[in-house]
Chains A and B, each alone.
Chain A
Amino acid sequence: MNSTKLFHFKYLWQNIKKSKSIIIFLMCAVPFINLWIVGLNSLNANYVLDFAKISNITAILSFSFPSLLAYLLFGFVFKRKTVDFIMSQPITRKKIYASNIFGGIIILLITVLITTVGFGLLSLFAKIYIPIGVLIDYFIYWLITYIFVFLISSLAITFAGNIMSSLVVILLLLFLFPTLSYLNYSFRYASGNAIYVCTDEECIPNREIYCLNSTDNCEVIDESRVNYYFYYNFTGNLSAPVNYWVTSEFSTPSIIKTTILSLIYLVLGYYAFKYRKMEDSEVSFKNKYLYEIIKIATFIPVTFIAYTMSSDNSAYILISLVICLGYYFVYDLVLKRVITDPIKLILKSIVVSSLIFIIYIILNNIYENNIPVIESIDEVTVSYNEAKLGISQSIPITDEGLIKKLIRGEDSVGMANYMVEIEIEGKYYTRRYVAKDTYNELVNYAKENNLGEKFTADNIVYVASSLDSSISVSLNEEFKKELAEYINNYEIPEDPDNLFVSIYKYENHELKRIDVKINDNLNLLNHIKTSFNDHFIKNFDGDEIGIAGADGTENYEEENQAINRNQDRLLEFLKEHKNDELDGEYVILYYETERYIINREDFFREYAVYTS
């Protein structure tokens, strides 16, 4: 297709040129703010940053920057004289729309690219590490999200007659679905803190004593067990990005839905612009029915706040009423700048809020009476840090005996370290405390059935000291292969130990960490030793140095005193020997979180010579 039939590049250039200062400022400011905030947060701590950590500020900017860009490109429709100027030019509406959208996307692409490259440079030169996979995900996710918000804003501007009304439409398109989803979630959640009475076969919610919300007396425990039972927010996925105003987790379904919705908004925007009545500039919504519909849509979240307040405490009923009435007045004042008939407005507000309240009450009752019985389990998630496997992973279970044990759960007292999440009907999760034996059974089941997650050399992205993540170990293929093999056959020992490393893998858009003991593996120790030793020497500032054996024993009191008598000499010695290959038993010198690894025999023999 001939691009000049769709785009008018000269017009586009001129349209961008007229706002070049603001656009260039934004294209610099957005990456700068991102890098500054992330860099600032990482100044005093060394992080391996995952998608969420580098996305926090981007999520906020994703509302403002693309909307502002849409105003710069399409904002001419709000003023009669700019409408006259642009629309009288020899360019079709299709080309104006297509050129502005194309230009906007290019600007967004450059901005997100600069930010991504900036993060890459930050990773290279600052004390943080961002895996390449995270950078790629960041670029894809936020580019699509920025484009999505830009398209929504363009559509809203085309629909509305002035800035305020377009802002209302943008907020509606962005937040109405997530808000409805959140409201739905809230009702489910409120009804969901149920107390279950469990047998070996099933757990039945005790409808007599269910809790309305989390602040009620849900802590009371009798023979049955209190279980969090919460709704998995699948309706949130219908909107896009998935609740990104709540969380900024990378989500493939969200990306797909956002892309599809973006295409829909792109087409809607085109037709809205093509058939827009340009004479409708400088007024809010020409159509009075559309005005009312949009007003009611924006009223839903307000009524929800009012409903929640008044249902929690009847003393708030009056305040709720004032909120509902006040909103109707404020809305008209902002958009119309005039209140024509206050009495009619009050009546309307009362009627509409009453209707919405009735819907809320019905929804609440429906959910309260439909708390599901737990009788089967689809999948069990062994939680991160609590898992003996060392890493969060989902395990599908078919073993009937194990399922029954998990359904029933165990007495929660003292079981906090053995908690699993179970998935029910693909929509719900419940957290259940289990006894240590059941937990071990679950872990063994996963191992025997080869269900656990596997490490490969490719998905290991970072290795650091588990005590201080700034001690990173340079990765080479041989080391990564050895690590992967080691981890896949690894079992976390029961006894505490003092030489763990954290291994990070990035897979399926998730950064996961496993802490593994490497005391027994000389091969791996030789890979990491130099990094640890260098760090030890570099950061030493006169602390008391301790000595421990490879197995963690610390019975070197005399030697300890000896080495601390002359630390300067010791450091000289350590500098000389930091690269020594480990070939047998070794000792670990330590202070705070630092570790120095050296052959035991060498250390004691040569150190004795050195100090004599």
Chain B
Amino acid sequence: MIEIKNLKKSFDTKIVLSDLCSNIPDNAIYGLIGANGSGKSTLLRLINSIYKPDEGTILIDGVSSYDNEEVKKEMVFVPDDLFFYPGYSLYDTAKFYQAMYPKFNLEFVFDTARKLKLDFNKSINTFSKGMRRQCAIICALATNAKYIFFDETFDGIDSVVRQYFKKLIAKQMTKQDTTIIMTSHNLRELEDICDNLGLISEHKILFESDVNSLKTDMIKVQISFKKDFDESLFAKLDVLYFKKIGKVATLIIKDKKDSKKYLESLKPVILDYLPLTLEEIFIYQMEALGYEFN
């Protein structure tokens, strides 16, 4: 488990993270989303002890990860801006990782590279951006580390390979007791793979939850009545969002026990329950917390 308490990091006078707290459970795929420059990469660098926090603690399984070789053997980080040694092939890079990680599985690299038709002996720096990221992800997964961190995970990878990697990551999860932390500025990218999500904004994690409870927590409704109506009609409900166009209103409400019964009791002309995208859930949650994005 990763426990982050009151983390603070500034670059000169610019505060990047402040009083950030988070708990990332074991054996989860944790998606960290936030706008560009919100501090996602910095947080990952802090967890991976590339940077030192100004204040606060980061505990990995109860132990500080900073400059701790034993803990870091169970952590691997794939940054957004990838680096490979000049002239190194996938094989050379895998050998490097093998030298650093005791549980590294070279066979896994061979197999996966073969399936993805990656030339094993060609210099990685001659590969396309997407292929380079594939190499990095393969090497990271091959380390068999307990904690794997991907920054802008699928950046540059086409949708087919992206799906392949999502499956591979899920397989890794089931095979090992792995926790994967991924960042993206695009929530849709993480939607179908993450089981936990955290939103980083305003220097801290504003909101984190597991995806299932998020989805069951809210309902999106389109509703219409014969008579004219306004938001006050739903005062008894916990309305996160209300928008009326003509005679049809769209509502997002916190799903409490009797919400649906109450709506039906109002005898609407139209009552449709619509599926919520994760993006909408986040936006409405944030609006509910007082953050306005529009």
Query: Chain A residues with Cβ under 8 A from B96's Cβ?
Result: 14
Q: Is the interface of A mostly helix, strand, loop or mixed?
A: helix
The answer to whether B293 has its CB under 8 Å from any CB of chain A is no
Query: Chain B residues with Cβ under 8 A from A278's Cβ?
Result: 50-51
Segment 19-64 of B: residues with Cβ below 8 Å from A: 45, 48-52
0 or 1 for each of B80-99: is its CB under 8 Å from A? (1 = yes): 01110110100000011001
The answer to whether B119 has its CB under 8 Å from any CB of chain A is no
**Other-chain residue from A90, A92, A279 in contact with B75 (beta carbon distance below 8 A):** A90
A88-B50, A88-B76 known; A14+B82 contact, CB < 8 A: no
The answer to whether B101 has its CB under 8 Å from any CB of chain A is yes
**Other-chain residue from A11, A14, A18, A81 in contact with B81 (beta carbon distance below 8 A):** A81
The answer to whether B100 has its CB under 8 Å from any CB of chain A is yes
Contact B88 A91 (CB under 8 A): no
Query: Chain B residues with Cβ under 8 A from A277's Cβ?
Result: 51-52
**Other-chain residue from A11, A82, A93, A279 in contact with B100 (beta carbon distance below 8 A):** A11
Min Cβ gap A453→B in Å is 57
The answer to whether A59 has its CB under 8 Å from any CB of chain B is no
Min Cβ gap B222→A in Å is 47
Contact A85 B11 (CB under 8 A): no
Give Cα A89 to B145, complex, Å. Answer: 12
Query: Chain B residues with Cβ under 8 A from A600's Cβ?
Result: none
Min Cβ gap A71→B in Å is 14
The answer to whether A95 has its CB under 8 Å from any CB of chain B is yes
Q: How many residues of A contact B (CB 8 A)?
A: 25
**Other-chain residue from B72, B73, B79, B99 in contact with A11 (beta carbon distance below 8 A):** B99
Min Cβ gap A582→B in Å is 69
Q: How many residues of B contact A (CB 8 A)?
A: 29
Interface centre among A10, A80, A88, A91 (most CB of B within 10 A): A88
**Other-chain residue from B11, B48, B100 in contact with A91 (beta carbon distance below 8 A):** B100
Contact B83 A81 (CB under 8 A): yes
Contact B67 A92 (CB under 8 A): yes
**Other-chain residue from B49, B73, B75, B99 in contact with A14 (beta carbon distance below 8 A):** B99
**Other-chain residue from B50, B68, B73, B99 in contact with A84 (beta carbon distance below 8 A):** B50
A87-B50, A93-B67 known; A81+B72 contact, CB < 8 A: no
A278-B51, A286-B12 known; A90+B101 contact, CB < 8 A: yes
The answer to whether A13 has its CB under 8 Å from any CB of chain B is yes
Min Cβ gap A235→B in Å is 39
Contact B69 A92 (CB under 8 A): yes
**Other-chain residue from A13, A92, A94 in contact with B99 (beta carbon distance below 8 A):** A13
Contact B100 A89 (CB under 8 A): yes
Segment 74-103 of A: residues with Cβ below 8 Å from B: 79-85, 87-95
Give Cα A286 to B11, complex, Å. Answer: 10
Give Cα A118 to B6, complex, Å. Answer: 61
Offer 13 A-B interface pairs, CB within 8 angstroms, sorted by A. A13-B99, A14-B100, A18-B85, A80-B81, A81-B82, A84-B77, A84-B83, A85-B79, A87-B48, A90-B70, A91-B72, A92-B67, A92-B68
* Residues in chain A within 8 A of chain B (CB atoms): 10-11, 13-14, 18, 79-85, 87-95, 277-279, 286
